[in-house]
Amino acid sequence: MKAAALPWHRDWLANRTIIWLLFIVNTLGTVYGYIWYGSQMEYTVERQSAWQVIFVPDSPTASLFFTLSLLFLLFPRLVKPNLIGIGIRSIIEALGVVTSIKYGIWAVTMIMAGAAQGDHLQWEHYMLMVSHLGMAVEAVLFVRYMVFGRFMAFLALCWLLVNDTIDYTYFVFPWLPDVLENDLSAIQSFTMGLSVLSLLLTWLFISLRKV
């Protein structure tokens, strides 16, 4: 598998300044996301099991993978152009795209579902909707510049399904509005279905790379 060169002169998205700005924004968003999940991560370690904490900060981890993917676009020589190097880059990119699509849509949907059932939205909710929608949009836009293929995207789905299973078996899913507590079964089904949909969307945009 050969990493594609970026057509800097033909596509404004591939402009290094744009990618640097996105890299900085995503880095800051990732750090903020882990801080946001800090209380739940502490609760999981203290009240449940330490190994489960890795499955708590879903969105920040997705953002972390995508941030690393942007770093590969800025510095393609960070990984050696051999099977192992391209494999590492490919799985990180696949995780960055598939998980960003999934959790970008998921977070916005949960906030809107809570609002529809009476949860009072504050400014943080609108900020989260904009930032998470941005996660999904940027993932879709940058698929064309990445080297991963359908198989790595499928492996990213496997990770998501494991994550979903752990989330709803050990109740380490992101804390939900109180008004959604009675809808947990439906949310679990939606979450796992969205994981599959995120893979299908990724496969679609992979197929459009050369169009």
Helix H or strand E encompassing 89: helix 83-116
pLDDT tens for residues 116-147?
Answer: 999 999 999 999 999 999 999 999 999 999 99
pLDDT-derived band of residue 185, with 50, 70 and 90 as boundaries?
very high
The angle at the Cα of 141, spanning 186 to 150, to the nearest 5 degrees, equals 70
d(CA 135, CA 150) in angstroms, rounded, equals: 20
Query: CA-CA-CA-CA torsion for 13, 17, 19, 21, nearest 10 degrees?
Result: -120
Q: What is the pTM of this model?
A: 0.91
Is residue 201 within 8 A of residue 136, CB to CB? The reply is no
Is residue 44 within 8 A of residue 167, CB to CB? The reply is no
Query: Of 107, 100, 127, 134, which Cα lies nearest the Cα of 190?
Result: 107
Choose between 11 and 5: higher pLDDT. 11
